[in-house]
Chain A
Amino acid sequence: MLTPSSVRWPTPRSYSVSLEEMYREVILDHYRNPRNRDPLDKIDATAEGNNPLCGDEVTIEVSLNGDTVDAISVRGQGCSISQASASMMSKAVLGKTEKEVAEITDTFKKMMGVIDTDENVVDDDRPGATLGDLEALQGVRKFPVRIKCADLAWTTLEEALNR
């Protein structure tokens, strides 16, 4: 019979290392000083997203000039990962065309494992070269339950732009 004492546990990993990889300084900075929070006057696309499981919330407003993201507002509340991801996203998509935004979103989702892929979307030898600060969120991949937090703003932005 399988009793708890006969169950073998995996050998301990170094937890503090993976936690430190997740809670990078740049993430805490975006959590505490979120960018692009001011509401917009002219709103061409908007959506609200939430994660009912943990209560993370984000509201996105986009102002377009042609098909370029002219201004963006990202407001919300929730854990450091959801809010930092939203803030970094707002920086990354500002001034980009809708097509470029879709590409960045795709790359981000592949980096996070939200979209399955075999390709290595970010270059480990040149950190930041592909997605800039956003690459700091890779540390979240070691915490599968938190990937949803990182993804919330992106899914919400997709929803706003696809309407």
Chain B
Amino acid sequence: MTDWAAIRADFPILSREMNGYPLVYLDSAATSQKPQAVLDAIIDFYSTTNANVHRGAYSLADEATSRYEDARSTVARFIGAQPDEVVFTRGATSAFNTVAYGWALRNVTEDDRILLTIMEHHANIVPWQLVSDLTGCSIEFVGITESGLLDMDDFHRLLDDDVKLVGVSMASNVLGTINPIAEIAEAAHRAGSLVIADAAQAVPHTSVDVYETGADWICFSGHKMLGPTGIGVLWGRPEILEAMEPAEGGGEMISDVRLDGSAWAAVPHKFEAGTPPFAQAVGLKAAIDYLEAIGMDEVERREQELTEYALKSMAGVEGLTVYGPATAEGRVGAISFSLADIHPHDLATILDQRGVAIRAGHHCARPLARTLNVPATARASVYLYNQESDVDALIGALADAKELFSVA
């Protein structure tokens, strides 16, 4: 049995106060907090091992390079991949852009279509719009059902052999919905399309095996899974990475540079132009070690428990509407909601005065907000360090909001 109180105590920021109340952090879908072990790993790296990687012919640089490549191996094992299938990026966003510029711009034409879903984050929409601007390809969006699930009928209807790429989130950062990625990938492949999966809200919360997903590329960010900012992962099938061109040029990504052209380094380094975020990679490794020590199944079980508790508590608040699946099954712990006619920004301000940090806005998913016909929602999201009392604090603060707005 995991001692969740001890886990929580590993996160120094959670013992601080906010506006006179204990901080209740319910915005982990935006970014997660970091355990001491991750902070220590970063400080240790800078204190003992810092040198530029893949460059120096001296022992320190060698050590630094080993730590960086060791982090890559850890990420690979964590997601069921091989190390040379793991490209380090600045984050999920730059992982998408790497595929947009390195693959799509060269393989998609004006007769082709890209199929996305209405619940995608802007990171899995805007890069494809840039591709569309340059190639003339069209983009279509799969809708959602009343209960906030992906409309699979719509997906199958829109999928035909003009579709060259399907982009889908494994879990929605707004609705929390977990999408049937394996089923989507299988159908897409049968139609001759490749599949890019947004795992930014999946990898931190459930165990993900990239080959089981069936996707061709997977993108996620380190900072949402207890790691530092400035690092993310692009995983790709080896033969696809091999055939892809680099999206960025510079140092580290070449094997030879001549005045009339250059030759690329081997995968994955050909996608890592410039000095890579090696200290961040070391931090990400420490985050994965931390998660694995608990066990991803255990993390998932605990989050389900908290999500269930939150959904039940919120169901008891009159005037509150939850967007997305109403039970913890088939969803992650990002819960979007509205409360009577109180605007989400007003809610966030009022909750903040009780130390409760939630997100208000369109959560970088404007098309979805428009589909739901709400310009903005409030979102509370839980992670392994939250506890039932955090949910209780949220519910208490919602009562404050209703009182201030004279909502019965």
B376 touches A54 (CB 8 A): yes
Given contacts A20-B404, A28-B406, A54-B376, contact A79 B16 (CB under 8 A): no
B15 in contact (CB, < 8 A): yes
Q: How far, in Å, is B395 (CB) from chain A's closest CB?
A: 17
Residue in contact with B375 in the complex, picked from A5, A19, A55, CB distance below 8 Å: A55
A54 touches B16 (CB 8 A): no
A7 CA / B15 CA spacing, docked (Å):
10
Q: How far, in Å, is B39 (CB) from chain A's closest CB?
A: 11
Contact-size category for B: 20 to 34
Closest A residue to B345 using CB positions: A79
A13 touches B20 (CB 8 A): yes
Q: Using Cβ atoms and an 8 Å threshold, which residues of chain B touch A149?
A: 345
Given contacts A55-B361, A55-B375, contact A78 B16 (CB under 8 A): no
A55 touches B362 (CB 8 A): yes
Given contacts A28-B406, A55-B362, A78-B343, contact A19 B350 (CB under 8 A): yes
B354 in contact (CB, < 8 A): yes
Q: Using Cβ atoms and an 8 Å threshold, which residues of chain B touch A12?
A: 19-21
Which B residues between 344 and 359 are near A, CB-CB below 8 angstroms? 344-346, 349-350, 353-354
B405 touches A78 (CB 8 A): no
Q: Using Cβ atoms and an 8 Å threshold, which residues of chain B touch A78?
A: 343, 345, 375-376
B12 in contact (CB, < 8 A): yes
Q: How far, in Å, is A138 (CB) from chain B's closest CB?
A: 16
B200 in contact (CB, < 8 A): no
A10 CA / B18 CA spacing, docked (Å):
9
B16 touches A15 (CB 8 A): no
Given contacts A4-B13, A19-B353, contact A79 B343 (CB under 8 A): yes
Q: Using Cβ atoms and an 8 Å threshold, which residues of chain A touch B361?
A: 53-55
Residue in contact with B349 in the complex, picked from A5, A9, A28, A143, CB distance below 8 Å: A143
Interface residues of A (CB under 8 A from B): 3-5, 7, 9-13, 15-16, 18-20, 22-23, 28, 32, 53-57, 77-81, 143, 145-146, 149
- Listed by A's residue number, 18 A-B pairs whose Cβ atoms lie within 8 Å are A4-B12, A4-B13, A4-B16, A10-B20, A13-B19, A13-B20, A15-B19, A15-B353, A18-B353, A22-B349, A23-B404, A28-B406, A55-B362, A57-B375, A78-B343, A78-B345, A79-B343, A146-B349
Interface residues of B (CB under 8 A from A): 12-13, 15-17, 19-21, 341-346, 349-350, 353-354, 360-362, 369, 375-376, 400, 404-406
